[in-house]
Amino acid sequence: MASNTQFAISLHVLTILAKSGDGLVKSEYIAKSVNTNAVVIRRLICNLQSADLVLSQKGATGGFRLAKHADKILLSDVYKAVVPGDAFALHRQKPSQKCPVGKNIESVLCHLQKVIDRAIDEKLVDYSLADVLESVETGQPITDLSAAA
């Protein structure tokens, strides 16, 4: 179980921004919707800004908005921006180098990580934030392209 909620919260935040168009949205408003603290939201949006997905404006009339149109923001971009690690974790302790399996298993696992990461990326590249917004607004499930084919 991945305990990291950042991808989920990011999509929530971005959907709100997408819905708000060019208008600036305050962290306090977003926090209310997400049901958490405004600092958590600002901290998260920091990552989204580094990935050029969101812009901010400081000061009394400040807030956040998308850096580009929602159909130009792919879920694979979001995933890469906020999910740092890999699909599964490797050994905490280095395996015994005396055992022929322990000696070589790490590189195999490392390669497998990349295979899975690529599979996730190739799937998420098919969806944009605009798809998510549409799904949220219509209540219809997001189009599953693999099932459609």
Partner DNA sequence: CCATTTGTAACAAGGATAGTTACAGATGGA
Partner DNA sequence: TCCATCTGTAACTATCCTTGTTACAAATGG
List residues binding DNA (CB under 7 A): 1-6, 9, 26-28, 36-40, 42-43, 45-46, 49, 56-64, 85, 89, 92-93
Closest contact distance (angstroms) between CB of 67 and a second copy is 19
- Partner whose footprint covers residue 127, from a second copy, DNA, none (CB < 5 to 8 Å by kind): a second copy
CA 88/CA 138 separation, integer angstroms: 34
Closest contact distance (angstroms) between CB of 100 and DNA is 20
CA-wise closest residue to 47 among 69, 14, 21: 14
Kind and range of the H or E element at 56? Answer: strand 54-57
- What one-character DSSP code corresponds to residue 57? E
- Partner whose footprint covers residue 33, from a second copy, DNA, none (CB < 5 to 8 Å by kind): a second copy
DSSP lists the bridge partners of residue 64 as 25, 56
CA 69/CA 85 separation, integer angstroms: 27
Contact call for residue 76 and a second copy (CB under 8 A):
no
Question: Which residue's CB is nearer to DNA, number 43 or number 103?
Answer: 43
